[in-house]
Copies of this chain bind each other. A is one copy, B any other.
C-alpha cells in the first residue's frame, strides 16, 4: 500500500459563511497527502458526490437537524466511492460504497466513524452508482418516506410536488403515480415542465416562472390538493395553501427558495387554510428512517428494474467546478438529480 503516499488529495473547504448565494471566493482549495487507514478504517476514493439544496443549510451557523460545517472544514457531501485501502474486514479494495466523503478526492474513514459517516457497500446490481445518489440514495429515501409515511397517499388523490425535476421531486411524483394518484409537478420553465411530463410521466407540470401558479393549480387540481410535497417554500407554498382539499397533508421537506435569502424567511401567510381544511403540515428529516432504508431501496429498485420508475441524473464532471455547479441547484438549471462526478 505504499503507492498511497504518492497520491494527493484535492479538497474544497468552507472558507467563509455565505451571505446569499455561495460564491467561489467562499471556498478554499487545499491539498493534503493521502494517509493509510488505521486498524478498522477504510480509505475511499470519491467517484461522485451528490449536490443537494440542504448543503446550503449546512453552511449556515446555528442549530439545525445536523451540525453546521465549520469554517475551514472540508465541505460535507454525500457520495459514492471505491474502497482503495481497507483495514476493516467488512470492506475490501474494489468495493463500491455509499458514504459521506465530502468535497474531496479521498476520504479516510476511521473505525469509529463508519456509522456516522454512513458508509455502506452498495449493491450495483440494484442500480448504478449515480442511481445510488438519486432514487436509491438520500433524495429517494427522503421522497419515499416523506410521501409514504407523512403524506400517506391514497389512490385517486391529487399529489402536488414542487422542485419536480429535482432528485426528491422525481421520486415523489413517480412513486405517487405508481400508488394510483394524480400527480402535478411544479418546476421552473416551459422546457423543464415538458420534461417532467414527458420523461417522468407526471400528469401535469406547472411552470412557476410563468406567474400563474394559482390559476394553473386550479386547472390542474380541480378537486383540490390532497398532498403537497414542498421542496421550495416561499410564495409557492403560500399559493398551494389556497388550494388544499379537506384533510390535506403538506410535507415540509425543504425551502430552496429561501435558503439564499438575505432577508428573513417569508412565512406562509395562508396557513389558516390548515384550519379551514383540517389540514396538516409536517416536517421530515430522512435520517429518522435509516433502519427502513433497505426495504425502501428494494421497492424502488424493483420499479427501476420493471421500468415503472426512471432515475434521472444531471451529471457534471470535474470536482473543480464544484462552486459553480452547486449554483445550478439554486438557479434551477438542473434537469434531474444534480451529480458532480469526479472523473
Contact = CB atoms under 8 A, between A and B. Distances in A.
Main secondary structure of the interface of A (DSSP, over half): loop
Interface stretch (A72-80, A110-118, A185-193, A276-284): A276-284
Interface string A248-289: 000011110010000011111111111111111111110010
Nearest to A265: B269
Contacts of A28: none
A238 interface: yes
A165 to B, nearest CB: 21
State the number of copies, please: 2
A64 interface: yes
A336 interface: no
Contacts of A269: 264-267
Interface residues of A, number: 33
A175 B285 CA distance: 32
A264 B271 CA distance: 12
A252 B267 contact: no
Nearest to A233: B272
A267 B270 contact: yes
A285 B275 contact: yes
Contacts of A277: 283
Contacts of A264: 269
B276 A279 contact: no
B233 A252 contact: no
A252 B265 contact: no
B282 A281 contact: yes
Contacts of A281: 271, 274, 280-282
Interface of A: 63-65, 233, 238, 252-255, 258, 264-285, 288
